[in-house]
Structure 1
Amino acid sequence: MIKDALSVRSRYVRAVNIGRDLNDANALDGYLMTDTVRHALARLCQGLVASSSQRAWRITGSYGSGKSAFGLFLANLFTHPVNKRSAVGRLIDEDSPELLASAKKLPRYEVIVITGTRSDASVALANVLLEHVNQRRSSPTQKQLIRRLNTFITAREKGRKAPAAVLGLLAEVRTYLASGVNAAEGLLLLVDEMGRWLEYAADPETDIDASFFQALAEECGGRVRDIPVAIVGILHQRFEDYTAGRRDKRSGLEWAKVAERFEDITFAQSFESTARLVAQAMESDANAYKRAGIGPRATALYTQAVKLGALESSLLPGGISEAGRLYPFHPMALASAVALFRRFGQNERSTFSFLLASEPFALQDFIGRRRLTADTWYRVHDLCDWMLAQGSLRTLDEDRLKRWALLQEVLRAAPVYEEAEVQCLKTVGLLNLLEPQSGITITAEFVAFAVADQVNAKHVLDAIAKLVQKSLLYVRPATQELCLWPQSSVDVASELARVRKATTPLTRLGNLIDLLPSPRPMVAHRHYLTTGTLRTAYVQLVEDLKDVPKLVSTPLNSDGEILVVPCYPDQDYKAIAKRLEKLSASAPEGRLLALRRITEDDLELADELSAWNRLERECADLRVDTYARNEVRQSVHRLTSALVHRLADLRSPTQGSRDASWWHSGAALEIADGRELNRQLSLIFDHRFAQAPKVRNELINRSVVSTAAAAARQRLLERMFSHEHVEDLGIEQTPPEKAIYLSVLKDSGLHTIRGGEWSFQSPAPGSDWHLAWAALHEMLEEKGLISAKDVLTHFAAPPFGMRESVALLLIGAFLCVQRHNVILRERGTYITQLEDSHIARLIKRPETFELHMVHAQSTTLAALEVYRDVLSAQVPGDDLTATVPELTRRLYDWYLSLPEHTLNTTHLDVTHRAALALLGKSGDPVELLTVGLPLALGVLKQAQPIDAGSKLNLQLLRSRLEALLRAGSDRLNVLRADILKVMAEEVGVRDPAAVRSHVVALADKAQDEVVDYALKAFIHRSGDGQRNEAQWVDSLASLLGGRSLETWHDDTLLRFRAELRRVYTLLTRVVALAKLTGKRSGPDHTVVAVHVVDQKGQERFVTVPADANGLMPAEQMDDLRAALGQFPVPAYVLARLLLEYSVQLPGTPEEAA
């Protein structure tokens, strides 16, 4: 058995106690001078020289890393002679002779060993000084010093002495030790477990704090008076980590500052150092190892591990050739064991406990049941068996605990029966638990090497493939590493620790508030039940106090608003409350201020949530790690829920808070719960919107209406103008607009029956709508002209607070009632006939519409009666009244009926053109009737309104207005007459009335099949007996003028003349050709006329058959083309020949006819 050839020295198991082991001659047996020890000793040799001013040190390292052993080594250095015969001297000389020379130059410090406890450091220091002085020779100075130390201890325990007073006693002890026959050269305070002192000092209930340790470091450093005093403290973590918590930022910073007074030596043993300790701890039978071939096999294995990158070649002092000393540890198992005990145990202490423990699957159990052969190695899966036998994992790392639980579950439930598969699962599972490990990747090659010593071991690779196929192992796509879960592995705990370390504790909630759900508006329920209007107060959290004055003075854009101001622990709550009370006095009505305390516990939770959110943002590996990503998301969700619950009253004040104070309009409010807040909001809204009409219809009475309600609103507005005199506005059945009509217009009395006729009426005094109606009337009376948007804005503000849809219905009813006095304009243009499109645009863009009230009393009634008489006589329509809106509508009805030609022609009288241009601008109706038209028609000589003092020639106004209306209405008839006159001139007829009959008679002699479209249409339309004279003229005007007669311009007549001349000339030629040939058209008698004009302007022509095939052989045609091609200008020859063969045209068209 391996046990027969291997044993482990028990010296490495027991933990070191410096005070106990200082006088043990064998305490340093087997002590190994590692790189960390050499580095620490070299620094201390430099710092402890008499001339050094830095004699305060701290050695920091994790549990079991060898700190106390080094402290024992250091104490022995000064309590025993430094030479090659002493244990310390031999160790230093064998490893680093140069350090021995440096150590010999150090003063001979007297070492006072102190083991820290959770108690007052000043009292503990006084006690050890008292004990040390008591061991000295009795003398008056000694007795006095002992008495002073006892007095301090007693007074300190009763709280009557400051901790720093012990430093004065330390100075006296130093002076005492420097005197006498056996004077010391220095005093070294060696404090093991110094962190216990710091834990006690960090407690806020104690009166010892960081300043004591700062003074202690300064006492040990600085100028040397008698003998140097040094202190070396041994700790497990940093100074600030012993303080009362992460939230205590100031305390943490203070402790970190004090820690800088102590020179730091980090004590962390490397893997190589641990491997050397293991090799030194194991005693083997060299002969037995040699017979079994252990040395060569171990060298080969560890060499392979070095090639794979799992180990360094400098693992052992003698190189890889000494790897046999590490038998039976497989290199992968050794690396995993060291990582395991460093992460979950106490480093070397746990390592050597494992070496000697009689536990199942530990080293002693393994060597007791395995034979000594070169192929027997303690492997990773054996280490996993030992871990499984332990049962639980001793760690607070939640991520490692989850990995460990997953490994146990997979091994317990996996359908695996082959030994190789089980070994692979255990190997991958343990490596997953320990990752990341430097130099080790969990690939199939590494697993094969760990299980079977060969990276290409076929049976192992086949087992891995089967496990992957069974979905018991997964391959990470990015690295091809194996794992027990289908994603990459992220050490969430370590990543979170890194984030926490890099994150400064929050003093404000800041942007973290944005991660919380958006606040919901607060509804004033009682106000809604009594008025029918759903009013809300929006909640806004104000993080910065500097923003409060600006936000408080900003006008309200909603019914109400609640500004919640947080007060943090470092702020003065009373001062802020006083300031907010003063600001609320100048705030608009409806804006409430709330001051809410933020506690340290709130910020603790915010810190934690901030750290998890940052981890989720920054950790790139989470994208491919579903397991870790879900864990992070669950933590974020859990912390967010907790923070929302804790800070709910910041975003939802309905829950109330005993830590909040409230103000409105300078008065403090007692609001302890949501019910009281709702009552206060209702009272505020009742007062703020006291003149709002009651509208109990949720379809229309809301800030934002639904699509269906918006459509119903538009249809209702359309019917208000088109069906005013019909009961229920003619709405049948029960569409949405019927419900709006009943609740808003009918129940309010705005639309009612009076004198047997349905119509809109002004609301009666005392009605809910009376104040709003009167306000609208007053606005128009005062301003005369006002934008519809301004009206809506006015009604939306206090004291009305009307929703836009309700205000639009009020405007519609007002326009119906005041139709004789109020007109509607769009973009400055008077709307003569309100159409559905206008209503749609009014709803969508009310800022483009204006309401204009016309004051009839300012105009002369006689002038308005002239307009009424003339318009009634010349423009058909209903009976007119002598009011500006009615007269303007009738005048614009006439204007809009005029064709485009009439509006654009220059052939009208200049006054008529000026009047039409004025109407085209659709300006102010009052100004139009009283100034614009009289001035344009020449009735007035200068622009001045017609009023009671004006002297106006009413007869002249009547005649000029009648002439304008006649000229505009008759303009197309005049144009038709001009067209007939032009036609008579072009066809040579004296009487315009005879033009059509002349054209018809001429066209009858033309060939039936005419190809030219214009000529063909001209002939057809002229001969169409269904068209009367006007229709015939309009038809030819459109054909030859290129546009309909209504859209003609003045120059269109010239185009008409030119086109008529071309068409008529073509007609005469066709008629002449028919007369010349004497043949009617037909397939066998088609001829073509070729016209030639000589220099004298005489036109001649040649007629030939249209189809000349067979009259001339093709060869002759080719010869003729060739002959013509010899001339410089062949066309000249053809033209001369055509002139010789042509004949003169027949006589004039009249002769031809």
Structure 2
Amino acid sequence: MQGFRSSINLQFDLPNSQLLDRYVLSSSHCEVFHGILEGVTQDTTHAHLLIGPYGTGKSLLSTIVCQLLSKRFSGEWQERLLAQSERIDTKLASLLRDFGNTAMTYVPVMINGRTGSLRTIINQAIFRALQQADISIVTPNEASSILSTVDRWKGSYPDTYIAFLSHLEQRSCQEEDWRLQIENCLEEPIRDFIAFYPTVTSGTPWTIEYEMYFVENLERLSAELMERETGLFIVYDEFGRFLQSLCGADALQSMQDLQDFAEFVNRTPNMHLLVVGHKHIRQYAANSRESIRTEFEKVEKRFRFYSLETDGATFLRLAQEAIAETNALSLNNVVELETLEVLQSYPLFAEFTSYQLEHGIIQSLYPLHPVAVMLLPHLSNIFGQNERTLFSFLSDNERYSVRDHVHQRRGYYYADQLFDFFSITLAEYGDQPSLQLYHTIAPYLDGQLPLQRRIVELLALWAATLLTQKQPATLAFLAFSLGIAKDEAGAALEQLSKAKIVRYNSIRDHWELFDGSSIDLNAVVAEKITTTSLQGREHMALLERHLPMSYVLPYEYNDDMDMIRYADVRFTDVSELKSFDESLLTADDRIWLVVYSGEDQMEEPIATAIEMANPFLVAFPKFTAESVYTSLLYYKIIDELLHDPAFLALDVRVKNELLYMLQETSVRIKLFIDRYFVFDELEWWSGTERVIVKDLLGLERLVTKRLRNKYHETPLIRNEAFNRNRISAIQRRALIDVIDRVIQQPGAPSLGITGYGPNYLIYASVLKNNGYKLDTEGRVECGGTLAAIKGELERRLDDQPIGKLSNLISMMEAPPYGIRSAVVPLLFVSLLRERWDQLLFYSHDMLTTHLNGASVLELIDLSDLYEYRYYNWTIEERNQLEELGQHFDLSAQACVSFLHVRDALLHWLRQLPKFSQITRQVSTITERIRDSIRAAEIDPYYHMKELALNGDLLTGARRELEKFLVWNEADLERKVLDLTGQETLTHVFEALRKLRNEAIGKKSKLLTLAETGEESGLIDRLAEHLVGVARTEWSDATQDLFLSQIKYEWQLLHAGDEVAAASEWIVDQNVLLSKKSQTLYANVKNMLKYAGKDVPTQEVKQLLIKLLQEI
């Protein structure tokens, strides 16, 4: 038998006809042959992508394909390949025969891991392949361009040619040798020529035409080859190196070239491309920017994709061939083989028949132990190179190989020995946590007990290959794998377990490596359990944390109603069950699982069902919880330790150990809870009715039945995104918009909504589809369940006009309506729209005004804080309200709501001048009406009724307030004339002009009044000059100040010499103040400074003047 080699080189192995002897056709290889031969014989896809890990035979397969398409061997070679295919794939055999009947011959073009310009790589490879095939065609490539350039120099430019020869002499190279190097596309002489070229061309850089016309030149080449019935089969091995070398703009250009080349190959009948790598093209751009990733993905779509993985059957056939010689030698000395019965007790080779197990594994692969056979391909895939490692392990004389084992000892080669062959201790374990764990615990192994090390190494290998999922590492399996007795294996595991190197995982039922802490946690827990107990509902809460499902969905009900309701699942005891208040439920229904702490608590379910406060769905078990109580205590203690920073700081490994103990305890608790879902051990009651529940489906149907009875008045709203308790921000904004429209334009078609966005869907699903509309008189019409909800709301308003808003909201959310929280605000406003204007909402006796969509949502979210007040006006009162509105020019439609009239009156009042709004210089009736309008903002119902009863008085009050400034102006003018003794204001201003020149030394402000020549608005000019405030902004106090000021200023202006002298003495005399005077001064100053900080400066000055006059 021919020896196995560890690798294949496409260039060197292509002429080797014996390569087929070592080739074993597999199903995955057949798929590749299918794709390529269909492209050759049926003109399907010509661009192929072959990926797979190291050692899966990619290069060998590529070489065999090239040998087949090149037809370089005899018909006997093809017959051998055909014979293999007929045994595995008859369709492939048919394709091979079809290809044998074609006249086309393909020239293999080999590229192995080249990097650089894709155009250069392809053209050079084609040039070289055609040269080797002795096909004389001028190819557009760098090598041919260089040679043609030198030939042109030789014939037409002798000086340049002589300079070139001189350059070669300096490099100690003859022209013939140089030409041979260029023809072989060697990179060094090509780079040297490109560097030399500008020195003889006046600095002109080297350029070649095919760089610009890559695809066009290939089309010309393929056409010439087609005439000779020849094609090209291009194999680019190690394509990943090329992709890894790409970066920046080069990546985009190279990907574009590759895409153009693949598209060209797919439409060219005599050209095929096979790129070979380890992963998809797009994966090489995973960390690149978006544009590059997109380009890589686009290029990959041009290729037909194949993936090679070593399957078990293929690996087994290869192993049998490779070990045949060693197997024959070893069977002569064998003492005892593993039995078929023992091997079949483990699911290692479930896909093989009994015959295959006995003859193909137990006998043909001896001395390999069956467990070692299972491990070998997995370890080869992780730490080796699949078939390469297999052949090296089975046929070479390496240390720890099978042949080395046969030479050193007799008997089986056990699975743990593979640890040394693959040098696991030296392997990288960054992505292998099991190996990292091995390196952590290895120093603690007892060197005097080799069995312990064998067990640990086997567990490490078993975990690294993830075979624990296929076969757990049980005691029996470990003994079988190591060829020892179970008692011996058990004793070794016990020792390792005490040392916290391994542990038995009761969750997964296998042994595993373990790096335990230095603390005896079992002792710590045992100490705490004597002082720990479960208080109140604590044990129920712990049980509920382990429920496999915390709620049950009634799928039939939810599908029918197009919404999501559910029943939550909770544990309880009998006492809680009898007293629980249903209003505390957050779910739509409740499923109680009764827990009996002891047999003394168990009683007849019917007796408990009769005493229940509400008709819940209850499961009464036929068992108690005594068996799980200790596990619940353990769980509580371990959980407390996990939240104890001081305890966790004792050892960095203690947290992981506690977490594992918590998981183990959880498993025991879950085993108890699982009994509640067996259903056979439970007795189910719905209220006082005994029901039969056999499985989860039956429970879902029972919940559906209960919810249909419980929520029989729920409106049908087919809008799953909105009909829920919590909605998205988009749905919330749409809801606010719809509520705004219901308030502002309820009678508009579709509420004035245009388009079909979320707001229209809410309107249509909640209102329109349920028959909601307003008639011409503003009355709400709706059908079905909406009518029932509307009737109940109106009945409650009529029965209790003042009450908690939360009572109305909870009514809508509670059975039999069960409206979701997001829907409640819209239905609340819409169904009460005809009474909305008579509804007021107060919080702490403060009226909430100007309600809109956003404020309505807040109102209902905080309904516990609000009180509603419904005021239903009689027909007579409405008529009075309408008459009231007419006094202020309001339409009859605007007078429908007393709130609208209130808003109109407030608006009218606030538009009046400030003086008119606050003065007391009006009639008592007008003042009372004005105060009632202002008070209506706080208590609109009472004050608007009062105003409606006195509607006939409003006309006079309105006229008086609107004309107040005119009347006030005349009144002020009369009082000013009385003070000054003049006949008209014009005379006052004329007197001031005459006195202005005569009043030198006098300080009256009247002398500074500017002259304008206008005779209108004289009183306003005078008032603003003296007081500094426009008359429209006055108060009654300001008017008094003005009159006092003008009196003083006029007197100051007309004071005699004696008064003036006295005045001067008051100003100029500097009298020393006594202590009492200083105290008085300080008090007056502080009072004016702090108490008078909101008083205008002019008024303060007037106050001081007045004090001086009075003193």
TM-score of the superposed pair, with normalisation by structure 1: 0.42
Structure with the greater alpha carbon radius of gyration: 1
TM-score of the superposed pair, with normalisation by structure 2: 0.43
Query: Which structure's residues are more often helix, by fraction?
Result: 2
